[in-house]
Amino acid sequence: MSISIWLKPVFVVTVALAGSMVTVSGGIKGKGNRESGVRLMVNEPARRVDVTVDGQPFTSYIWPDTIKKPVLYPIRSSTGAIVTRGFPLDPRPGERIDHPHHVGLWFNYGNVNGVDFWNNSDSVKPDPNHPYGTIVHRKILRTVNGNDRGELDVELDWLMPDGKPVLREQTTFIFHARPTLRSIDRLTKLTALDKGVAFNDDKEGVIGMRVARSLELPADKPEVFTDSSGKPTAVPKLDNTGVSGMYLSSEGLKGDAVWGTRGRWVILSGSIDHQPVALAILDHPKNPGFPTYWHARGYGLFAANPLGQAALSKGKDKLNFAIEPRQSATFRYRVLIFAGNTTAAQVEAQYKDFITEVE
């Protein structure tokens, strides 16, 4: 097995590596000898792949032992504003410290053959009545650098409590860079192994991110949130200074009204350090359960869940999604990070680009 690394356009270096094939195509030195374009730097001993744009950090794909699935963390806008919450990996003053399983940007589900892959964390004690699953990084298959995009292909296993895999995951991340826009495509193929896999109805899923405190919706009272195992988490009222988030769905719904509704995209707008920022998650017409339901909470959980339809629709809809043995399903999402004021029309235009570019 070998890795081909294009260090310059004029030659190729090939390095042997057992167990995977990684191809890294190179960038070009810009002004001041700074590497231009989108670059991915693999550091397997540190369990991370760092993504930079013109030498500045964008995000990292990480798989530390302290969390129960690989995630992208942190995520930054083109101006360097960090749009994801720091807790529990790097707590910042004034943040909420609820839901320690909400880390960066992730993909999992709350009920896979009866096992909870969403709520698992080191903060949860083993419970025979509520088993937890773990998603483990297995290998890096490929990395690609480019002028305005980079790519990362990885392979993961979804492990049941006994350590046996139930799903094989292959995900491609595509990192796009424009002057005032960063975006991330997550294209995830899940393959059932020797047994069928049922994604039983559950509100906890599927692609989610936990945002910075500034992008939460202002909260005027303490609240208690309950996870899928029935365990309450008290979330006190915090200082709302600088808290400015607002959801807007493709169907025109705003704020807390977005939760439990369907739409092809949702925007979360606000400001960080007095500078406007907007995040958007785009669904895809070929995804299971399209258009997705939104598990979008004012306290900073921004998630799209196409599979837990009965839980999110109060029983109006049901999907009962399953993957047969040795069969696959693919999920396609694009996450946008705008630096600057953003309109619904801009996001709709980005949505049309997404569904044209990704099949």
C-alpha to C-alpha distance for 26 and 37, rounded to whole angstroms: 9
Kindly state the helix (H) or strand (E) to which residue 72 belongs, with its residue range: strand 71-75
- Specify the CATH number for 2-357; select among 2.70.98, 2.70.40, 1.20.1070, 2.60.40: 2.70.98
Decide: 344 and 84 in contact? Cβ < 8 Å.
Answer: no
State the Cα–Cα distance between residues 5 and 39, nearest whole angstrom. 12
Q: What is the DSSP string of 244-305?
A: --EEEETTS-BGGGGTT-B-SEEEEEEEETTEEEEEEEE--TTSTTSSPEEEE-TTSEEEEE
Q: Give Cβ neighbours of residue 117 (< 8 Å, ≥ 6 apart).
A: 68, 69, 108, 109, 110, 132, 133, 134, 135, 158
Amino acid at 248: L
Q: What is the pLDDT of residues 273-329, one digit of tens each?
A: 999 999 999 999 999 999 999 999 999 999 999 999 999 999 999 999 999 999 999
**Token digits for 124?**
């949860």
Integer Cα distance of 259 and 253 in angstroms:
9
Mean pLDDT of 331-352: 98
The pLDDT value recorded for residue 166 is 98
User: What pLDDT, in 10s, does the model give residues 42-78?
Assistant: 999 999 999 999 999 999 999 999 999 999 999 999 9
CB 291 within 8 A of CB 345: no
Residue with tokens 């390095």: 15
* Secondary structure class of 258 (helix, strand, coil): helix
Instruction: Provide the sign of the torsion angle of the four alpha carbons 244, 236, 233, 223, taken in this order.
Output: negative
Chain segment 206-260, per-residue pLDDT in tens: 999 999 999 999 987 887 776 666 677 788 778 899 999 999 999 999 999 999 9
Sort strands 23-24 and 2-8 into parallel, antiparallel or unpaired.
parallel
Query: For residue 14, what pLDDT is reported?
Result: 34
Task: Answer whether 210's CB lies under 8 Å from 96's CB.
Answer: no
Residue that is written with structure tokens 């790519």 in the block: 151
Distance CA 349, CA 227 (A): 35
Whole-prediction pTM: 0.90
- Residue 251 is encoded by which pair of tokens? 């169907």
Listed as own residue / partner, the contacts of 126-129 with beta carbons closer than 8 Å and 24 or more positions apart are 127/229
